[in-house]
Amino acid sequence: MAELQTKLMQRKIVMITVLFILLVIIIFLIFSPFSVERKEERYVRKMNHIYLLMARNKKLANDLIQHYEKNIGNPPENPLFYQESNSWDQLKTNYSEQIQELQKGYETSSQLLQDLPEPPEPYITCYSLLLDAHILYRQYINLALHPTGTIDAYRKKQLALYEEMNEKFLELEKHLKLQKHIKVRFTN
């Protein structure tokens, strides 16, 4: 009987030791550098997702602006748009789907950016570039959703803003791609 109790005690000790070792391994995996890399990878993926939404929406805004310019024509002495004018109302009606899609895309990307937590140390520059790109993006979307002024002034403002925004987007994409250990899909 004593022998049986000794064997049971030894099995309990072995089981407790194995469970303790498994617990240590699990804790190590949770707090290991691998989990830090996974968190950083998720963070970069979130930034990339926001970037891709903004790039897609930037194209929608540009297409909408091109439609405006084609439909209004180029009378240099006439105003381009006024919120009260029939031409603006007609454009809003003709392009209501594009306008709604543009607004929805803007709201989504803005909310995702707002929900993005503070960046990990290695991604502060990327995060800063993303914020800068979003400021220009917001101005461009606003320009597409609320056109005003003469067609010449509108075109000049649109072209300058579009060029500045493209430069910032390219800089952001370059910094995101520098994250070598993270494989993300980039498109424009």
Q: Residue 69: which pLDDT band, with cuts at 50, 70 and 90?
A: confident
DSSP state letters, 92-127: HHHTHHHHHHHHHHHHHHHHHHHH--PPPGGGHHHH
pLDDT at res. 29: 66
For the stretch 12-48, what's the b/e string if a residue is b when 16 or more beta carbons lie within 10 angstroms of its beta carbon?
eeeeeeeeeeeeeeeeeeeeeeeeeeeebeebbebbb
pTM, rounded to two decimals? 0.71
**Domain ranges for the chain:** 1-31, 42-177
Q: Which range among 30-34, 117-121, 168-172 has the greatest average pLDDT?
A: 168-172
Residue whose tokens read 């707090």: 31
